[in-house]
Structure 1
């Protein structure tokens, strides 16, 4: 078993357990069909609807690895979606809309990175500034209304398919593979982890911590821009008030469920994506099981708490100690020996 697979094994087992649990309440959960040139079914819906959180979790993983946090990713989604819809409404076309939306996300990420790296503001405060003000920026772009468009080429990003597979699912899959490849096949991943473990020591060792911090926040803004494009293309409109609302919390939760520490250091992009899929599976499973909508958040919170407890390193250590103690008690003792404890 490879190290990467061993690292993600708890999340894989958790996801499989959730799938089995949901299948008990909804036997058709794993049913997949091919209709009108596209794959359909609850599982397909999960990988599609989970795209925004998965994309946000990819960027959030890098930020948290540096012992930071980005509370503005939901707002950046709204800004990027508003920019894309405004560009389309102006008649500029799909390519400028996507390009300007990504530039808007990168700009927001660079702003956060500069506040953290050069001004020295704590990450939670620096990103909170954009989180609170960004909605107003998005509303200024859309003039306080839901800005709609009818461009089928842009809508394809949110609801189209490639060989039957939803485009949003392919987007987070390709993005996750690309980021993981860059981080693990180059020295960037090690440098990011070094900053998260001890920024001062990494600076003394010759690592340009400021540049790397700006880079990871820019990467988070880029991923948020992609999520904003997907969300806007899916509904064919920009809703500055609701786009990405509170998704930053789901993104942070996905990273935590993925076993990544909020104290920085070692990280796994694949585990964070699995965490996002776990969250979406919980959401979809609750709806398919027929629970009243009023109980959804409570049930989701309870399931997530159980997942985190099962994955807790302290709990794992206690279970390991208990198994060793039981094994020691079962071992036959030599004749005449006494327990001197």
Structure 2
């Protein structure tokens, strides 16, 4: 195969939405393999799978779930800054009810219902009152922490319920239950958005909400649905985080997870302006963030520098995904003899 035939294929490959995120994720895993002995090894102990790769999926499960909800909100042209507060409220409610003697089903049901209501609140503020999404969700972001603190009484609530432990720290079929839960949520989301017209309708609303309304699409209903789904994802993630430690901290639970979720969506190639989205890209973006955190810890780098490394990796991936940036690099690397203007000048001289 000659170079001329290879170049279009190579350009199509590097121009794919997932190429650079997957490449960066592979490089991070390769760095861990080089500096950490047995990083890719997976062992079975008492019928459960253990290993660094399993840990990345386990600790990244809440972020993946929150990022899935964030993807749908961003696809409609919005953003949800309150997911961290929803995580804290959900975990606080569940642990508080369990500590008061209520059953597991009641605690989980109330926490999930509250998360749905918080998502509905955000959606109604955006659609009915016309408040900008960043402002509408910022209200709950600030107030939600206070609500979580009121539920916990400003203390860390600890519980001892093995059924609750199963959600974020248990195992099923050899795998962490939270990984299976995220896989099911991802599969359902893919089916609903890619096997039905729902995903296309949300993309059209994000691309142009007014035009979608004029052609008969109920854009307000779809936007509310996206926020409700995002609240649900954040609520379940809150259950995962609190059940993994069997405790609820209204101040620290889910802190800044909204920023990591937005970064995961952006790393996956979904534009913040709304429109087309990529669920696979979001998952890869979340895995990049979690793998980066794991790399920093295993390499012995001070944790206070984590945000600096995250910013560097995010900047690199965003630049590589930018067609304008890649075009500039291509023009700089192109030899002068390949310039069309130069070729015309040479013909004139002859």
Q: How do residues 80-95 of structure 1 correspond to structure 2 at under 5 angstroms? A: 80-95=90-105
Residue 22 (structure 2) pairs with residue 12 (structure 1): yes
For residue 271 of structure 2, give the secondary structure of its aligned residue in structure 1.
coil
Report the counterpart of residue 186 of structure 2 in structure 1: 176
Candidates 304, 310, 318, aligned match of 2:328: 318
Question: What is the aligned counterpart of 1:126 among 98, 114, 136?
Answer: 136
Alignment partner, residue 214 of structure 1: 224
Question: Is the Cα–Cα contact under 8 Å of residues 26 and 288 in structure 1 kept in the other structure?
Answer: yes
The answer as to 2:112 corresponding to 1:102 is yes
Cα distance in 2, alignment partners of residues 32 and 261 from structure 1: 36
1:300 counterpart residue number: 310
Aligned residue in 2 for 1:49: 59
State the TM-score, normalizing by the size of structure 1.
Answer: 0.93
* CA distance in 2: counterparts of 1:9 and 1:260, whole angstroms: 14
Q: Compared with structure 1, are the counterparts of its residues 326 and 234 closer, same or farther at alpha carbon in structure 2 (3 Å cutoff)?
A: farther
Contact 1:176 1:270 in 2 (8 A): no
CA contact 1:180–1:270 (8 Å) conserved in 2: no
Q: Distance in 2 between matches of 1:19 and 1:60?
A: 25
Check if 1:26 corresponds to 2:41.
no
2:72 equivalent to 1:59? no
1:190 to 195, 200, 205: 200
The equivalences for 1:245-256 within 5 A come to 245-256=255-266
Q: Please give the per-residue CA displacement for 1:238-262, whole angstroms capped at 9, x wherever unaligned.
A: 1101110111000000001111100
Q: Which of 20, 23, 45 pairs up with 1:35?
A: 45
TM-score normalized by structure 2? Answer: 0.90
Cα offset for 1:297?
2.3
Question: CA 1:12 to 1:161, structure 2 compared with 1: closer, same or farther past 3 Å?
Answer: same
Q: Cα deviation per residue 1:95-150 (whole Å; 9 max; x = unaligned)? A: 22221111011000000000000000000000000000011111111222111111
Name the CA shift for 1:46/1:327 in 2 (closer, same or farther; >3 Å). Answer: farther
Identify the residue that residue 4 of structure 2 maps to in structure 1: none
Deviation of 1:295 after TM superposition, in Å, equals: 2.5
Alpha-carbon distance in 2 for matches of 1:160, 1:129: 34
Number of matched pairs: 339
* Mapped contact 1:73–1:248 kept (Cα < 8 A): yes
List alignment gaps of at least 5 residues for structure 2.
Answer: 1-8
CA deviation profile, 1:22-78 (whole Å, cap 9, x unmatched): 222223221211112211111111000001111110000001111111000000001
